[in-house]
């Protein structure tokens, strides 16, 4: 990997630090026509509302990659909460609130507040969670449901302790993305179907495309009476018989779904917000032309006549008054797909930028870019990492590992079908014909240039199944996980894990890099440096001059 220290790289680094992740949420009544877009300017942790939105009266909670943003004035202004307030991690993937109790699903645990979000106490695998990467949360009374990357974790004592449910109990997949409950019936949206329990989570029956689902990857679920709405990668699937059978609508990736009475809100990945006033029989489409911050939505919620849409470019709010705001969306003049950059790689005069809206490629040292998207074969437009070797380009996306053998002109996408631990990839590293893919459900290794993969998990010694970064030197492999830095000296066959006990600043490790005999681990609480191959670490923080203790 080549280091580039040009003016462009400085700009890219600044953009990465300032941009953040933005993801969408949704909307309210069918009468809503216009939207007002709220961005970081108004106090959001970042304009990327990736984990959705929840509202309770005038209290609005936006889950962003820069923290949990809370508004007490209907979304007019926000205050952002981060790890400084007790969150397990800054990246919040889901939120639920009931009165003064707020639950934040973070990539570092389930954070619970009993004082309206002023302070949080974090729960992890130590408390029974299936994994520290919590993607969704729901609560009813003293029962709390946490959708994790390692199962559905259920607490009956307000989140003090959890019992974890997995495929052994009937879940379609251990990667649970969302959860909803009504009485003793629980609906778990998994990477392998919609799993339904009628005995408070003791056992589950799994529903798939065989039962009418649009896709087996279910991203969200909501119910109104006997009607079940499932947001899938192939559309919004609707059941009127409590989940026995489904009929699929829209035929596009739906990231979240919400319903109030006969009004249904479907937040899509690229087509905006679809609203139905007849229980999903027909839909009308709302886009940036109607004021949405972006057509890429990650969630929707409604309270009365107010509709909240979590988008890639801010929180869009609509009221029945028809007040509108035209969002001045960022359109990079040099051709970047988005102003939010997750990673960059360079070789000679060719620069690859992993953005929140595609893989942008420059052949003139970054002067101009051409953006590649799903139209060119990418698994998803959200690209977290990129690596290139000659004319072969590897893009770690939210929908798989996309590989190009023609310098990025076209891509073929690899998924769990090819052996990946999960379709959500956070990083990729390549050495010769060996490809290492860091997923939210293990480190997937290929020895045939990405044709097939074998997945490594905690069973093989990883500190956690959520792997954020990977680096390799010869037969030594370093995996940055949510539970420590895992090191293998046998090409990834087995791992030994390093934690705070060995000097790491925090067990949540976001990235890793090796230069000669020096090892650098980017953690949630400092930059940890080892000069003895990872046996021991010395941690550096803001006290030593770092701009922030959270190093990514």
Contact criterion met (CB below 8 Å) for 293 and 299: no
- CA quadruple 12, 13, 14, 20: dihedral positive or negative? positive
Tell me, yes or no, whether 471 lies in a domain. Answer: yes
Higher pLDDT, 36 or 384: 384
* DSSP run (H or E) holding 143: strand 143-148
Lowest mean pLDDT among 174-183, 186-195, 296-305, 336-345: 336-345
Contact criterion met (CB below 8 Å) for 51 and 88: no
**Is 61 in the same domain as 137?**
yes
Tell me, yes or no, whether 7 lies in a domain. Answer: no
Contact criterion met (CB below 8 Å) for 97 and 61: yes
**Is 434 in the same domain as 494?**
yes
Q: Out of 278, 303, 318, pick the residue that ends a domain.
A: 318
For the chain, what percent of residues have pLDDT higher than 70? 87
Contact criterion met (CB below 8 Å) for 2 and 346: yes
CA distances 334 to 285, 340, 366, 378, 438, Å, are: 30, 14, 8, 21, 30
**Is 254 in the same domain as 356?**
no
How far apart CA 533 and CA 517 sit, in angstroms, is: 6
How far apart CA 196 and CA 188 sit, in angstroms, is: 6
Q: Average pLDDT, stretch 130-142? A: 94
Tell me, yes or no, whether 42 lies in a domain. Answer: yes
Flag whether pLDDT at 442 surpasses 50.
Answer: yes
Confidence at residue 337, expressed as pLDDT on a 0 to 100 scale: 67
Confidence at residue 287, expressed as pLDDT on a 0 to 100 scale: 86
CA distances 468 to 23, 424, 447, 464, Å, are: 19, 11, 20, 10
211-237 core/surface letters (b: 16 or more CB in 10 A; e: else): bbbbbbbbbbbbbbeebbbbbbbbbbb
The 10s digit of each residue's pLDDT in 260-286 is: 889 999 999 888 899 998 999 999 988
Per-residue pLDDT band for 339 (boundaries 50, 70, 90) equals: low
Higher pLDDT, 465 or 328: 465
| Residue whose pair of structure tokens reads 């005038």 in the numeric block | 58
Confidence at residue 31, expressed as pLDDT on a 0 to 100 scale: 32
**Is 496 in the same domain as 352?**
yes
Contact criterion met (CB below 8 Å) for 428 and 445: no
Using CB atoms within 10 Å of the CB of residue 278, give its burial: 0 to 12 exposed, 13 to 18 middle, 19+ buried.
exposed
Confidence at residue 430, expressed as pLDDT on a 0 to 100 scale: 95
Flag whether pLDDT at 8 surpasses 50.
Answer: no
**Is 51 in the same domain as 156?**
yes
The 10s digit of each residue's pLDDT in 177-200 is: 999 999 899 999 999 999 999 999
Q: Out of 258, 286, 318, pick the residue that ends a domain.
A: 318
- CA quadruple 195, 198, 199, 203: dihedral positive or negative? negative
Residue 168 is classified by DSSP as G
Q: Average pLDDT, stretch 285-313? A: 80
CA angle 455, 512, 19 (to 5 degrees): 100
Flag whether pLDDT at 40 surpasses 70.
Answer: no
Flag whether pLDDT at 223 surpasses 80.
Answer: yes
Confidence at residue 319, expressed as pLDDT on a 0 to 100 scale: 75
Higher pLDDT, 340 or 290: 290
The 10s digit of each residue's pLDDT in 68-126 is: 989 888 877 888 898 989 999 888 999 999 989 999 999 999 999 999 999 999 999 99
**Is 403 in the same domain as 273?**
no
**Is 203 in the same domain as 252?**
yes
Confidence at residue 48, expressed as pLDDT on a 0 to 100 scale: 57
The 10s digit of each residue's pLDDT in 350-366 is: 889 888 889 999 888 77
**Is 242 in the same domain as 391?**
no
Comparing C-alpha atoms, which of 432, 434, 421 is closest to residue 492? Answer: 434
Residues 6+ positions from 542 with CB-CB distance below 8 Å: 548, 549
Confidence at residue 25, expressed as pLDDT on a 0 to 100 scale: 31
Per-residue pLDDT band for 336 (boundaries 50, 70, 90) equals: low
**Is 442 in the same domain as 400?**
yes
Q: How many domains does the chain have?
A: 2
**Is 302 in the same domain as 349?**
no
Tell me, yes or no, whether 187 lies in a domain. Answer: yes
Confidence at residue 176, expressed as pLDDT on a 0 to 100 scale: 96
Flag whether pLDDT at 136 surpasses 80.
Answer: yes
Tell me, yes or no, whether 201 lies in a domain. Answer: yes
User: What torsion do the CA atoms of 349, 352, 353, 358 make, to the nearest 10 degrees?
Assistant: 140
Over its C-alpha atoms, the chain yields an Rg (Å, rounded) of 22
How far apart CA 188 and CA 183 sit, in angstroms, is: 14
Confidence at residue 252, expressed as pLDDT on a 0 to 100 scale: 93
Lowest mean pLDDT among 61-70, 97-106, 205-214, 466-475: 61-70
Tell me, yes or no, whether 135 lies in a domain. Answer: yes
How far apart CA 165 and CA 298 sit, in angstroms, is: 25
Flag whether pLDDT at 30 surpasses 80.
Answer: no
CATH number of the domain that residue 373 is part of: 2.130.10.10
Confidence at residue 366, expressed as pLDDT on a 0 to 100 scale: 76
Higher pLDDT, 101 or 289: 101
Confidence at residue 321, expressed as pLDDT on a 0 to 100 scale: 27
Higher pLDDT, 166 or 368: 166
Confidence at residue 2, expressed as pLDDT on a 0 to 100 scale: 30
Centre a 10 Å sphere on the Cβ of residue 183 and count the other Cβ atoms it contains: 8
Residues 6+ positions from 390 with CB-CB distance below 8 Å: none
Mean pLDDT highest for which of 332-336, 339-343, 530-534?
530-534
| Residue whose pair of structure tokens reads 């009266």 in the numeric block | 57
Task: Write the DSSP string, 171-240.
Answer: -S-S-EEEEEEETTEEEEEETTEEEEESSTTSS-EEE-GGGT-S-S-EEEEEEETTEEEEEETTEEEEES
Tell me, yes or no, whether 99 lies in a domain. Answer: yes
Coil vs helix vs strand at 386: strand
Q: Average pLDDT, stretch 433-458? A: 96
How far apart CA 495 and CA 512 sit, in angstroms, is: 15
Task: For residue 26, give its domain range.
Answer: 21-318
How far apart CA 524 and CA 508 sit, in angstroms, is: 6
Count helices and strands in the chain by DSSP H and E runs: 1, 48
How far apart CA 211 and CA 433 sit, in angstroms, is: 40
Tokens found for residue 490: 């046998």
CA distances 379 to 233, 384, 424, Å, are: 12, 12, 10
Confidence at residue 55, expressed as pLDDT on a 0 to 100 scale: 83
Per-residue pLDDT band for 1 (boundaries 50, 70, 90) equals: very low
**Is 168 in the same domain as 287?**
yes
Mean pLDDT, rounded, of the chain: 85
């Amino acid at each position: 990997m080549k280091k580039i220290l040009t003016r462009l790289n400085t700009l890219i680094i600044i953009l990465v630090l300032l941009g953040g992740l933005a993801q969408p949420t949704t909307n309210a009544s069918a009468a809503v026509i216009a939207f007002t877009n709220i961005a970081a300017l108004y106090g959001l942790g970042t304009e990327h509302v990736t984990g959705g939105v929840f509202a309770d009266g005038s209290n609005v909670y936006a889950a962003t990659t820069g923290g949990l943003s809370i508004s007490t004035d209907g979304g007019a202004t926000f205050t952002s909460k981060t790890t400084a307030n007790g969150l397990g991690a800054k990246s919040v993937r889901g939120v639920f609130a009931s009165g003064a109790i707020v639950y934040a699903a973070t990539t570092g645990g389930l954070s619970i507040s009993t004082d309206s979000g002023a302070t949080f106490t974090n729960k992890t695998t130590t408390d029974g969670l299936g994994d520290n990467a919590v993607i969704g949360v729901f609560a009813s009374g003293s029962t709390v449901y946490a959708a994790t990357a390692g199962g559905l974790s259920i607490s009956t004592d307000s989140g003090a302790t959890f019992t974890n449910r997995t495929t052994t109990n009937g879940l379609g997949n251990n990667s649970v993305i969302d959860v909803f409950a009504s009485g003793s019936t629980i609906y778990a949206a998994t990477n392998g179907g919609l799993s339904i329990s009628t005995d408070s989570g003791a056992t589950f029956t799994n529903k798939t495309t065989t039962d009418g689902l649009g896709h087996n990857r279910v991203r969200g679920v909501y119910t109104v009476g006997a009607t079940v709405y499932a947001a899938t990668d192939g559309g919004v699937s609707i059941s009127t018989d409590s989940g026995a059978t489904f009929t699929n609508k829209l035929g596009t990736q739906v990231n979240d779904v919400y319903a109030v009475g006969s009004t249904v809100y479907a937040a899509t990945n690229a087509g905006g917000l679809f609203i139905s006033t007849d229980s999903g029989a027909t839909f009308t489409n709302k886009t940036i032309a109607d004021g949405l911050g972006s057509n890429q939505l990650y969630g929707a919620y409604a309270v009365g006549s107010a509709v909240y849409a979590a988008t890639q470019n801010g929180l869009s709010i609509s009221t029945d008054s028809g007040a509108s705001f035209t969002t001045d969306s960022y359109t990079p003049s040099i051709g970047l797909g988005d102003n939010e950059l997750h990673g960059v790689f360079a070789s000679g005069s060719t620069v690859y930028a992993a953005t929140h809206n595609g893989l942008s490629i420059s052949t003139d040292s970054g002067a101009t870019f051409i953006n590649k998207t799903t139209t060119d074969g990418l698994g998803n437009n959200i690209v977290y990492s990129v690596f290139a070797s000659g004319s072969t380009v590897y893009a770690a996306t939210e929908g798989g590992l996309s590989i190009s053998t023609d310098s990025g002109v076209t891509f073929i996408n690899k998924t769990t079908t090819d052996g990946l631990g999960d379709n959500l990839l956070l990083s990729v590293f390549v050495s010769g014909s060996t490809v290492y893919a860091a997923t939210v459900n293990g480190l997937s290794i290929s020895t045939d240039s990405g044709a097939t993969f074998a997945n490594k998990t905690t069973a093989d010694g990883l500190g956690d199944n959520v792997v954020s970064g990977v680096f390799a030197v010869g037969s030594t492999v370093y995996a940055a996980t949510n539970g420590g830095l895992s090191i293998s000296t046998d090409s990834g066959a087995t791992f030994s894990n390093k934690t705070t006990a060995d000097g790491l600043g925090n067990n949540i490790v976001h990235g890793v890099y090796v230069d000669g005999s020096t090892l650098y681990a980017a953690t949630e609480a400092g930059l940890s440096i080892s000069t003895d191959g990872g046996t021991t670490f010395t941690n550096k923080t803001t006290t030593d001059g770092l701009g922030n203790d959270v190093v990514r």
